Structure 1
Amino acid sequence: MKRIIELLPGVFIVMALLAGCSSDSSSEEAGEEDGGTPSEISFGAATEGGFWYTLAGAMSDKMTEIYPDSSTSIIEGGSISNLLGLGQGTYHIAFSNGQTVPEALNGENQFEEPITNVSTVATLYPNVLHLVVREDSDIYSIEDLAGKTVSPGIKGYSGELAFQDVLETVGMSYDDLSGIEYVGTSDAADLLRDGHIDAISNMLAAPASTIQELDTTLGIRLIPIGEEIASALHDKNEGYLEYTIEAGTYPNQEEDIVTTAGYTVLLTNNDLMSEEDIYELTKMIVEEREAWENISPVMAEFDAEYSAENNVGVLHPGAEKYYKEVGALE
């Protein structure tokens, strides 16, 4: 199977693609008429250099063995645009964040209408809310962010939306802050180091290399949101799950940090791939877990039981069949 890399810069171009693609052409390309495996599989990932992009590339290489007559196109996207692409039939499979899935299914926030033709293949690892300040900062709680300048990540990305949800949970909004810097984590780290911002908030796999480097060279503290806020977030959106960043995850971290996480999930369009195709895909992803862990330790806990236990949304019948077969589901 040949792997093709398509470099599409984010949400706006993806939306343009959606507008130009009809469901008829998607079905023809997918080979739906004869029920066969699609000759080309579109895989929605994220920007080149990020873990989603790297993981999508590694998975597409392994897909050679289960779909020998198909090729895979890895497309740059993001949590929201990937779900939109799945819903419109532009993508066959794609990554998204767990807290975004219920919003898509219910037609909330960034989704004008419910997306009902997608289901979950596997839950892979947690993207953990990191709220990071300098070691000498006077910020010790969410409420202490009042009057401060914060980088919540890229505007419109799931990390930024999660930060807004956290603020709302404690009765705050951006109006309570002195400023917002919409930049990626690496640029935010430079701003924190130079004193241009007071805090970084983002959803990151833990440990995050940028935060490790900051802790080593600058000295940082992680701000807990606590069990009460974590529970309130879950009540608002089932995709938010309480998570503990254990002491020692970062070089100078001496205490456990209770926060929240949205798990990275792999989803599929229900109409473009068969139950057998998704069964084989699920099996491959689980049985090749060591390959993913070799890429990043964030995949260390992943297995069939982990995937089934942390599932968000509706499992695809092919995935459900595999998890039941191996005893991960009853």
Structure 2
Amino acid sequence: MLKKFAKQTLVAVSLAVSIPVFAASYTIGTGSQSGTYYPLGGILAKIWSENIDDFDMRAEVTAASVENTIKVATGKQLVGIAQGNVVLQANEGVKPFPRKMDVSVLFALYPNAVQFMVPADSDIHSISDLKGKRISLGAPGSGTRVSSVNILSTLGINESDVKPQSLNYTATTNALANGQIDAGVIVGSLGVGAITELALTRNIRILSFSEDDMQKIIAANPSYQPLEAPAETYKNVPAFTTPAVWNVLVVNKNMPQEQAYEMTKVAFDNMKKIRQVVGVTKFTTLENMNKLSGIALHPGAQQYLDEQMKK
């Protein structure tokens, strides 16, 4: 009996040794495949997977900021890309979030422009002209929808004052191209793919916010700042001024400090590779890591920043 037990034990140990140790699998929440979040999430997932031991990550297509923030706070995603104003709302527990969420920030990424698109020959020339119009305000659960609704409300235009539709990036540009809507909102980096592709086949304009509009928006939400977009940011589109808010990498505030530190370090060690894929990450610098005021960096990310600032 003893010999049989010893033999079984030896077989079990042998099997245990021969079974490979699988890397922990994670996801990074991104957004629509026609936006900037998706390719950025893809290259970050690749960089982390290749440079962190026992770490396997993939990019997940989502409705973007709100969904990503909720999934990170509830442990369904390790990290997500989100607009800073959405993360601040989650941290404070205000709409669209039902309560305070367990969120923190690894580092700021780049500024996101709030871009109200109209056909070039449209009679819509200002934000106030949007009243009564058919407008895509962005997909449910997206930062685009949060930003567009908040900005319009700040400027005295409620959803009941327009004919709202809830479309993602691709559906918004298709609807605008086909005359199914009068205006559409996309919140993304300057040069975002969805608008770039639309401007190649359709003549469009992007509404410019007046100085008075900008002052009202910034007074109501200091996370926004004016962004001057030069002419030809998109084909044949004149220069425009629009509100912008920084995108960030959002993580659960309970993420182990060592993990947050390693992910931050690996990302910055490989930033040249990231910029080759997503050019707008030229804004992703040590100096801009804590660009989003109102919420502290995760302690692991802060540890990395402190070390670098001493060099």
Q: 1:63 to 1:304 in 2, by over 3 A?
A: same
Separation in structure 2 between the aligned mates of residue 217 and residue 45 of structure 1, nearest angstrom: 26
Is 1:98 aligned to residue 80 of structure 2? no
Structure 2 letter corresponding to 1:101:
V
Structure 1 letter corresponding to 2:235:
P
Percent identical among aligned pairs is: 26
| Greater Cα radius of gyration, structure 1 or 2 | 2
Structure 1 letter corresponding to 2:98:
E
Is 1:171 aligned to residue 153 of structure 2? no
Separation in structure 1 between the aligned mates of residue 179 and residue 26 of structure 2, nearest angstrom: 45
Separation in structure 2 between the aligned mates of residue 103 and residue 319 of structure 1, nearest angstrom: 21
Deviation at 1:80, TM superposition (A): 1.2
Is 1:155 aligned to residue 140 of structure 2? yes
Equivalent in the alignment of 2:254: 271
Residues 79-228 of structure 1 correspond to what in structure 2 (within 5 A)? 79-115=65-101, 117-177=102-162, 179-228=163-212
Separation in structure 2 between the aligned mates of residue 46 and residue 121 of structure 1, nearest angstrom: 18
Cα deviation digits, residues 191-243 of structure 1 (max 9, x gap): 22232221111202211233233334321111112343334333333432322
Contact 1:120 1:311 in 2 (8 A): no
Equivalent in the alignment of 2:6: none
Deviation at 1:129, TM superposition (A): 0.6
Deviation at 1:183, TM superposition (A): 1.9
Is 1:70 aligned to residue 55 of structure 2? yes
When the two structures are aligned, how many residues end up with a matched partner?
288
Separation in structure 2 between the aligned mates of residue 221 and residue 42 of structure 1, nearest angstrom: 36
Equivalent in the alignment of 2:226: 242
Q: 1:294 to 1:128 in 2, by over 3 A?
A: same
Q: 1:155 to 1:119 in 2, by over 3 A?
A: closer
Separation in structure 1 between the aligned mates of residue 230 and residue 96 of structure 2, nearest angstrom: 32
Deviation at 1:114, TM superposition (A): 0.8
Separation in structure 1 between the aligned mates of residue 271 and residue 295 of structure 2, nearest angstrom: 22
Q: Which stretches in structure 2 are left out of the alignment for 5+ residues?
A: 1-22
Stretch deviating more after TM superposition (150-159 or 232-241): 232-241
Equivalent in the alignment of 1:251: 235
Contact 1:97 1:263 in 2 (8 A): yes
Q: 1:93 to 1:236 in 2, by over 3 A?
A: same
Where 1:212 maps in the other structure, the secondary structure is helix
Deviation at 1:249, TM superposition (A): 1.0
Separation in structure 2 between the aligned mates of residue 194 and residue 56 of structure 1, nearest angstrom: 30
CA RMSD of aligned residues (A): 2.4
Q: TM-score, normalization: structure 2?
A: 0.83
Deviation at 1:328, TM superposition (A): 9.0
Deviation at 1:286, TM superposition (A): 1.9
Q: TM-score, normalization: structure 1?
A: 0.79
Cα deviation digits, residues 145-201 of structure 1 (max 9, x gap): 112111122134221221111211121112222x22322232222322232221111
Cα deviation digits, residues 91-121 of structure 1 (max 9, x gap): 3222211110111011111111111x32110
Where 1:68 maps in the other structure, the secondary structure is coil
Q: 1:281 aligns with which of 243, 260, 263?
A: 263
Q: 1:219 to 1:328 in 2, by over 3 A?
A: farther
Cα deviation digits, residues 229-282 of structure 1 (max 9, x gap): 334333333432322222231222343x2211232211221223x222212211
Deviation at 1:137, TM superposition (A): 1.1
Q: Which stretches in structure 1 are left out of the alignment for 5+ residues?
A: 1-37
Q: 1:184 to 1:321 in 2, by over 3 A?
A: same
